[in-house]
Chain A
């Protein structure tokens, strides 16, 4: 029993999962059964993959001990750059690759500046938040370019089959989430990420190239954010320059609610997904329960604080159980 309890306390994402179940039950009742209706789930599942992919990238980066505030802007810049390239006659696959390369470059710059000048990534990426947003608006030329109508949306955002609840973006999300989870927990590089974030000096003294590890995480994070932005634009059919505003903080909130430690070293992909699901459920649930939508941010704020306090408490309890078991 104690052993079971300890395992449970060591996994904050499980507490998030429990909370999710409770919230779904509450909102299901409050919304008179609309929350879990097919139509509603279909709507939520359109947005979820996009948010979750950003949260996964941010989580991986936070595990290695860094931070990215520019994901919301990259979320907008990547699809905008693709739209501009498409309008310039570049074929979609080439534009897609160049768009992803642009994200990788932004991630690299974030990481390089942070590490080379030893400044907090909070500051570097705050700068990049403004720079990438500005670039998005500049290249859009003031108003959104039109997307050609022959884009392969069947591969990214169409419903998997006629009338299905899920879109193709959900498949991308599941595949990427599984790969990212395996990458973190099964590969040696994942071990290095955790070691780098858990205790940078120790990792370095064991010969791990900590700077390169961090730069790879910065690049992954930016690429996931950009790809998520592309999914949203393909779903909406128009590259608005304002998409993704405020997303950076929601992604951090999702990561933290899912048990990722701000200090680094701790966190899981599964936790990031649970965190995102919680945020989406609260957003959707409040609307369906006819609560003033402006309470949404209030609820997210409350949940974030609660999650961090609960995680700290759980870690403490877990340690205590260990001590008792020793006697």
Chain B
């Protein structure tokens, strides 16, 4: 058996008296696409926020590729190859695609410490390449993200994660507020992760979307994992009944 890419052991989290995560353990292997489902308040978001470095667990440990990690910020998580795409979309609409792709990780031509002049030519060239890599066809890296459709934006976010060689892509309700056509596009992206050698965690309310794109279903309820099975051995009805 390969080393799990993510291993959570007995994670606990309290929010001002609410026990949001109760002893959650979850092991994910490289190349898996895991669908994480559950009702509002089931603990999905809490788990994801801990994995993406936004919050910290109160107890328990996280191992990435067998080594224990402590994320203090989203940047730490990104350094370890975990990138999260949020439902509200992690793109800045008033900025160009090229600039968006490199927010916080701008290539610098010249620098003092961590500040310096951006290599804008390289940003443009690499963003064209990154977008083409996810089969998205956009006319110009200088177009504003605000001019893109919701599905295209998620595509650019995924292109960004791939460009920075993320190992694990966490998609937090990426299909919310999208039209059917756009949703299909995003589901296509999620399905394509495996071919690119990426591990995916896909959080959604929508069972259809998860079953269409993931090879393992994990369900949470009241802060615990209550169900964990390969997609081929279960059905939407079974998971529905459970929740």
Contacts and interface: CB of A to CB of B under 8 A. Distances in A.
Interface of B is mostly: loop
Contacts of B89: 202
Contacts of B117: 186-188
Interface in B29-75: 52, 54, 73-75
Tell me if A's interface is mostly helix, strand, loop or mixed: helix
B182 interface: no
B14 interface: no
B197 interface: no
Interface residues of A, number: 24
Contacts of B105: 206
B124 interface: no
A192 B104 contact: yes
A156 B86 CA distance: 50
Given A191-B103, A199-B92, A207 B75 contact: yes
Interface stretch (B5-13, B20-28, B93-101, B201-209): B93-101
Given A207-B75, A207-B78, A198 B116 contact: no
A191 B94 contact: no
Contacts, number: 83
Contacts of A194: 92, 94-95, 99
Interface string A264-300: 0110000000000000000000000000000000000
Interface string A289-325: 0000000000000000000000000000001001000
Given A186-B118, A203-B92, A207-B104, A191 B99 contact: yes
Contacts of A205: 52, 54, 74, 84, 86, 90
Contact of B91 (A199, A207, A208): A199
A126 B117 CA distance: 35
A203 B84 CA distance: 13
A154 interface: no
B177 to A, nearest CB: 15
A162 to B, nearest CB: 39
B115 A187 contact: yes
Interface of A: 186-189, 191-192, 194-195, 197-199, 201-208, 261, 265-266, 319, 322
22 contacts: A187-B118, A188-B106, A188-B108, A188-B115, A188-B116, A188-B118, A191-B103, A194-B95, A195-B99, A195-B100, A198-B93, A199-B93, A201-B90, A202-B90, A202-B92, A203-B92, A205-B74, A205-B84, A205-B90, A207-B104, A265-B95, A322-B147
